[in-house]
Structure 1
Amino acid sequence: MGYAIQYLRSLVFVGQMYLAMLVIGVVFLPWAAVSRSGAFAACKTYCRWVIWTARWMVSLKGEVRGTPPTDEVVIAAKHQSFFDIILIFNAVPAGKFIMKRELLWTPVIGLYAWRIGCVPVNRGKRGQAIKKMVADVAKGTARPGQLIIYPQGTRVAPGVRKPYKVGSAVLYTELGQDCVPVATNVGVFWPRTGIYRKPGLAVVEFLPRIAKGMDKDSFLAKLEDEVETASTALMLEAGFDAKNHNA
């Protein structure tokens, strides 16, 4: 009975979450159309709404640990579900994502992603996108902010092993910026697919920054070790032993 009640609560939560996305997107549209500040205000409002409703509708609390960066850096984050996107974006002043180009055509999401400066990437053509991004930064045409990339390239369920791709290392070296790794355990409570939301404490943790200047291979090895080690500890704290669930 307890599972059924929590599932029903989760279903209602998910439904209102997407309705809120539409409502907030429409309400803020005139401001967002003329000002990037309006687009950020809409996105921040939506993030806060999701965090607040998750707390009382499905008893899922979100917590941010560490020090979110406020300068121009590359944020390389563990990605387990939509909730880590919400928590990370809400914690930084001007986040922008490396995202699949197909999302630009998604109602509401596409418009706001474009307005806040997200970088669309074609599948299989990530290298071209990175080259253009680096060139835009060099010319001063890229919008300032915190560039968020998911080194594994997709959502990865707790306990699943997936290699870190070279794109984050290329960005780190070519942009000449520090990198802030981010660990998480959100997938323990909010799965990458499905409706059910488990009560608990979902955490994203901003780890100590990796200073610019390392070579690609050394950086990628350090990034993977730090993010995976911290994420494993967070998942264990949440009652999930990732070491005994590796796939």
Structure 2
Amino acid sequence: MKAKLSSATPGPLGPWQYLQNILYYLHGGLATVVIGLIGLPWVALRGTRAANGVATFWIGYMLWAARLHMGVTCELRGPLPEGDCIIAAKHQCFLDILAIAQAMPRRAFIMKKEVMRVPVMGWYARKVGCIPIDRARGRDAMRAISTEVQHRRATPEGLGQLIIYPEGTRSRPGERLPYKNGVAMLRSMTHLPVVPVAVNTGLFWPRKGWGVRSGRAVVEFLPAISGDGRASAFMAELQDQIEDNSDRLMAEAGFSGKE
């Protein structure tokens, strides 16, 4: 089901805001290459821990640059998980990726395998433990991910926080896309708690990345859902928690959705 934003939707950007957006992407692109290349020798010598350090620095830098050029920041709410868990988040834009990644001490994303082929970023994604998914393989893909997750849980470092987007793609503010069952399958296979995350980031940072507006977005971590119970009931609770709380955060920012 899709919802449309109310008449509170802001008007088009002015020329100065477009320039700010251009400067951010030029700055961010150059910084990504420079930080990535400078970090390569360190990662080659010290492995995953060094790759996480480089990634943490890059995430913080990109958020700082967003504040510098476009005046957009992100507030975190709710208790931040620290142990092994699955984080199931509403995904509206690049900003919520950065904010969630910065908040998690031992993060790893489940991401499309194509992203892992991107120069510099894809290499670091592999080094920090992100898990590629081949959507064409369906259940076999989730079984492969579950096997990898169980392997990591058995290591001294543990799994950490595994981040997944149940919608499978970015959605517009006020838009409710069908949730995919992958998160339920992963929960059933691992018995890990699932932490829902609500956002209103798309009100400030459009899903295609162009037309970012100044303001304070919110990413809110909600109470965990246990790893037990029927998949259908779990998916219904997960979707209600994420969507209803995302609507609440958008309403706080002056927007309302109408079915």
Common fold: TM-score over 0.5: yes
CA distance in 2, matches of 1:155, 1:186: 11
Asked whether the 8 Å contact 1:14–1:195 carries over to 2, the reply is no
Q: Does 1:132 align with 2:141?
A: no
CA gap 1:164/1:24 in 2 versus in 1, 3 angstroms: same
Q: For residue 101 of structure 1, what is the amino acid of its counterpart?
A: K
CA distance in 2, matches of 1:192, 1:30: 34
Higher relative contact order (CA 8 A, sep 6+): 2
Q: 1:167-206 CA distances to partner (integer Å, 9 max, x unpaired)?
A: 0111111111001000101111111114221111111110
Asked whether the 8 Å contact 2:111–2:133 carries over to 1, the reply is yes
TM-score (normalised: structure 1): 0.94
For residues 97-246 of structure 1, the aligned pairs below 5 Å read 97-139=109-151, 140=154, 144-241=159-256, 243-244=257-258, 246=259
Match of 2:87 in 1: 75
Pairwise CA distance, 1:123: 2.5
TM-score (normalised: structure 2): 0.89
Q: For residue 22 of structure 1, what is the amino acid of its counterpart?
A: V
Pairwise CA distance, 1:27: 1.1
Which secondary structure does the structure 2 equivalent of 1:136 belong to? helix
Q: Does 1:8 align with 2:54?
A: no
CA gap 1:185/1:2 in 2 versus in 1, 3 angstroms: closer
Pairwise CA distance, 1:33: 2.6
CA distance in 1, matches of 2:149, 2:18: 46
Identity %: 41
For residues 30-69 of structure 1, the aligned pairs below 5 Å read 30-34=41-45, 35-69=47-81
Pairwise CA distance, 1:52: 1.3
Q: For residue 201 of structure 1, what is the amino acid of its counterpart?
A: R
Q: For residue 80 of structure 1, what is the amino acid of its counterpart?
A: Q
Which secondary structure does the structure 2 equivalent of 1:120 belong to? strand
Asked whether the 8 Å contact 1:13–1:53 carries over to 2, the reply is yes
Which secondary structure does the structure 2 equivalent of 1:192 belong to? coil
Which secondary structure does the structure 2 equivalent of 1:213 belong to? coil
Q: For residue 95 of structure 1, what is the amino acid of its counterpart?
A: R
Bigger mean CA offset, 62-71 vs 137-146: 137-146
CA distance in 2, matches of 1:33, 1:81: 31
5+ residue gaps, structure 1, are: none
5+ residue gaps, structure 2, are: 1-11
Match of 1:25 in 2: 36
Q: For residue 214 of structure 2, what is the amino acid of its counterpart?
A: P
CA gap 1:19/1:69 in 2 versus in 1, 3 angstroms: same
